[in-house]
Amino acid sequence: MNTELTLLYKKTARMDDDLYIAIKPVCDFFGIDYKHQARKLRRDAVLRQLSCLNTTTGADGKKYSMISVQKNHFLLWLAKITPLMVDANLREKFIQYQLHIHEYFERIQGDASYYQRKFKNLKDCMDEEETIATTRTTLRYRKQANWKRIRDILDDQLQLQLVEENETH
């Protein structure tokens, strides 16, 4: 996948909670009328049920209320936009965006699965490390307890020797 497109996807298809994608960044980037798209979403029998007003982080890092579409239906919304509605200078880029964004989503999903598997493996390793650490701690306490008992026995023997020496003198 083209690096330029990947950067564009990261910039426009931002997800706050991994469930919804705000449409405003896409509209803003491609010069699409956001208010017109909002009206289309409200009128569309299917997309109306798959969209909502969500508080989303904008490009400036501030929180804004934006219309968002469920992640798995974002492509449906995007496919309903005619390239003729896009700024003429960005039309070809928009067509490429429409053609390849599914690959980006698949890769994100693949990366998430990869990290979920890695996390599970990491969790298993951490559980194993925790077991080893617990065993080490237990052994350390036993060793300390054994040394304490040995010290007590030696102290007792030393006390006996001292008592015997005092009696002989």
Q: Given the structure tokens 């990947």, which residue do they identify?
A: 6
Structure tokens, 76 = 């449906």
Give the per-residue SS3 of 101-162. HHHHHHHHHHHHHHHHHHHHHHHHHHHHHHHHHHHHHHHHHHHHHHHHHHHHHHHHHHHHHH
pLDDT of residue 35: 93
Residue 43's pLDDT is: 92
Q: What is the pLDDT along the chain (169 residues), one digit of tens a residue?
A: 566 656 665 656 555 555 778 888 888 888 999 999 999 989 988 888 888 887 777 777 788 888 888 877 888 888 889 898 888 898 888 888 888 877 777 776 665 554 455 455 555 555 666 666 677 777 777 777 777 777 777 777 777 777 777 777 6
What is residue 115's predicted lDDT score, i.e. its pLDDT? Answer: 47
Instruction: Note the pTM of the prediction, 2 decimals.
Output: 0.54
Per-residue confidence (pLDDT) for residue 33, from 0 to 100 = 92
Q: Supply 103's token pair.
A: 């690959």
Quote the CA–CA distance of 37 and 107 in Å, as a whole number. 27
